[in-house]
Chains A and B, each alone.
Chain A
């Protein structure tokens, strides 16, 4: 076949249109709630109205009597099967259904299993629970105060609400740096509780076949293989009898990493009843009971020398973990990867102290579109650098440039122990400043200030850490954080690629086919990418922490290369040449010096099943498990311009320029889409999204009428640009991009607002930066219209 006749390859760097779109634009997506099984029952959950209360009794008689109700499940019933409590991903326990006490508003108390969803919801209302309300503890400061009610009194020997103490970096070296500092600037801020709120809520259909014992579990799971193992460990089911199917997922953002109590009850109910049981959360259940994010109280001190160089960073953290310590994170570090907090700056000393506390709030800390706690870290350092700029009177861009880790310093060892793989921070910053027209906007700002108008320019030059493994440091219940790819090339040269990761909208079916196209020369359109069915894909730890491309993508590249090597051996056999003389490019094999005579990968594939050398195994397939040698460190500079209305406190985002460096971009279109989405979620977190509580622990923010998400109307228009600094240790040079924008952008938005208000002495407003807070800050500073 002539090259001109080849179908488009769709290799790395091409904006190939997405394969998965074909079903979604026709309404033919296949989400958990779209699945109906014969004989399927429906589950509804009764939840606690109290934040903290003792349960005196649970009367289920009226609910059980409703026609169509098949079973009512209580904590007592679950306890009989040793399933009233389950282990968490952070080594704690969590109530599946409450037995002794409820510990947060919205906690699962009982479940009804019925013939229809409507009947189940009706019957739930008829369960009569007698509660003895207890004093609620709603902040970690209250929780750690002497004499606070003990939330986890069921744990023998527990006398307070303190969960953990953890430190990183060197106290001694940091103290020494602070002792010789010319100046120290400080910031205390609360990164508020927010929620990933994917548009599809969490759900499950548990189908336990009473004859074969096979458990087929359809689940909104970002990590189906890890969940299979957890089901085996928690429920005691033999693992070969568990099949998790994670079909199309309507967004995850971290929300679909944990195992939730509803999953356990639905599975147990299916086992006991012998029929499939479906449970799909409604939005309120999603917001009040499943994986919240952040809720981090942070204080940072930055030490500067006389030249305004950063010489030390000191951070203390207080984490509100809710009623159970169920942070969904795979690191060995209690504060996740927070110690990336030195960010893009060459700060020679740093010391981080973190403590966690139980409160009467929902558990399940997840990483809302970031590697765990990287967003909090990035926010703190980027805000702190702006505070420093305002305090010392230096331009915040210039102050950053002066303190960046220089490009020649990579691989760079940070004061808290990370080894940054690659970076060129000044280049990204320069590009962003140029694209924004920074100097001109600073001139405009000066003119506006002279007229008494409020305009601000915010900068964030973030560095994040993504792509867990390596397996030595990162695991889930001991399962090392590798990931896998299995590639099968059929005789006609078409291929099936099976992955251990799982897309929730990231476009894996397209992107991973492009990796095969690049490495093996099979057009991306000819590669069917499959994920999410644990019976039919190789083991993997799932998709979160931007790890699909860094880990699963690397596995795909390497297995493609292995098959390419086998292809060379087959080509050598066909050409009757030495394998060392076989050349390969874009799916064509030839003997060095004879480029006119080629064998295509399709011909090689057919030969793999029909004409192989003596002693070679037939077929062209294989699997690779990739354990990354290090994390990857994407970075970038975001610039935001805002105008603030002095009369109302309203903030308008005028410009948003984002320069991202995520290494090599496999599908630039998809990468840009990921960045747009992250910038929007970052905008929501900065200005709108808040899960909060009153003093009795009632959750405020339990529907989309209270928990506000950005719409098309207020979302800024983004101007996105790229620099490319490949990762030296990734086979493709790619770093992962899903979370950069959520990590980097909140500080840029808030810095812009504070920059507008800085001449009036305002140094901080905690997120979400709502108009009323801005208005109050202005009035507090004596600014009137």
Chain B
């Protein structure tokens, strides 16, 4: 089947098998290997991307289900050379070790901050509870997301829109 989808702001068209998983399309066809596969059962969240701004687990979605929609991967998080506040904060707070869960974790964080600019620790922990990290024990990830929220509030003097825009892409 012919698939047309916008990935990180670029229109992509490809002929794919109907059964192609979204994660395989992203990794193999588009060569965007920042999105990882950790479990195949939607349990770990390493494959998390944003679909029209909402986090989805791309290992258990068909590429066809993304037809005509906006996909954002970790490669689309930064604005050129300017890192997304979540990326900066993961580095500053030591929110990553092996780096394998990091892209999925950051995508969820970015989406969270889009709809809730000032999340509590509870809200952060709930938001990332579908993403497993084996290295950090989550403490520094939570701190990083809090820090990103504080940075974002500082940067944007105007109120952050409640929802609707694609997280991380400006």
- Using a CB–CB cutoff of 8 Å, the interface residues on chain A facing chain B are 17-18, 20-29, 31, 33-34, 36, 117-118, 197-201, 248-251, 253, 282-284, 504-507, 669-670, 672-673, 676-681, 703-705, 709-713, 715, 717-718
Contacts and interface: CB of A to CB of B under 8 A. Distances in A.
A715 B90 contact: no
Most buried by B among A36, A197, A678, A711: A711
Given A27-B103, A703-B39, A199 B97 contact: no
The 7 closest A-B pairs by CB, nearest first: A27-B34, A505-B98, A250-B100, A24-B99, A676-B137, A27-B74, A704-B43
Contact of B134 (A198, A283, A705, A713): A198
A25 B106 contact: yes
Given A20-B99, A25-B102, A505 B35 contact: no
Interface string B48-60: 0000000000000
B133 interface: yes
Given A26-B34, A250-B38, A709-B44, 6 more contacts: A36-B28, A505-B99, A506-B97, A709-B134, A713-B129, A717-B139
Contacts of A250: 36, 38, 98-100
Given A21-B96, A25-B96, A505-B98, A711 B132 contact: yes
Contacts of A283: 38-41, 44
Contacts of B39: 283, 703-704
A529 to B, nearest CB: 16
B89 to A, nearest CB: 9
Contact of A677 (B27, B36, B136): B136
B134 A253 contact: yes
B46 interface: yes
A255 B118 CA distance: 39
Nearest to A249: B98
20 contacts: A25-B87, A26-B34, A27-B75, A33-B33, A33-B36, A199-B98, A199-B101, A283-B38, A283-B40, A673-B97, A676-B137, A677-B134, A678-B137, A679-B137, A704-B39, A704-B132, A709-B134, A710-B132, A711-B130, A715-B138
Contacts of B3: none
B115 interface: no
A29 B140 contact: no
Contacts of B36: 31, 33, 199-200, 250
B97 A27 contact: no
B141 interface: yes
B100 A712 contact: no
A118 B98 contact: no
A33 B17 contact: no
Give the secondary structure class of B's interface.
loop
Given A25-B83, A199-B98, A507-B97, A673 B135 contact: yes
B19 A118 contact: yes
Nearest to A715: B138
A718 B75 CA distance: 32
A335 B99 CA distance: 33
B62 to A, nearest CB: 13
A201 B37 CA distance: 9
A673 B43 contact: no
Nearest to B127: A712
A260 B44 CA distance: 24
Contacts of A673: 94, 97, 135-136, 140
Contacts of B64: none
Contacts of A710: 132
A611 B36 CA distance: 51
A440 to B, nearest CB: 24
A712 B83 contact: no
A505 B19 CA distance: 34
B139 A34 contact: no
A546 to B, nearest CB: 15
Contacts of A709: 44, 132, 134
Most buried by B among A23, A249, A717: A717
A251 B134 contact: yes
Interface in B1-32: 17, 19-20, 24, 27-28, 31-32
B44 A680 contact: no
A118 B87 CA distance: 34
A672 B136 CA distance: 9
B142 interface: yes
Contacts of A118: 17, 19-20
Interface in B121-149: 124-126, 128-142
Given A251-B135, A712-B141, A717-B139, A199 B46 contact: yes
B100 to A, nearest CB: 3
B75 A704 contact: no
Interface in B97-113: 97-103, 106
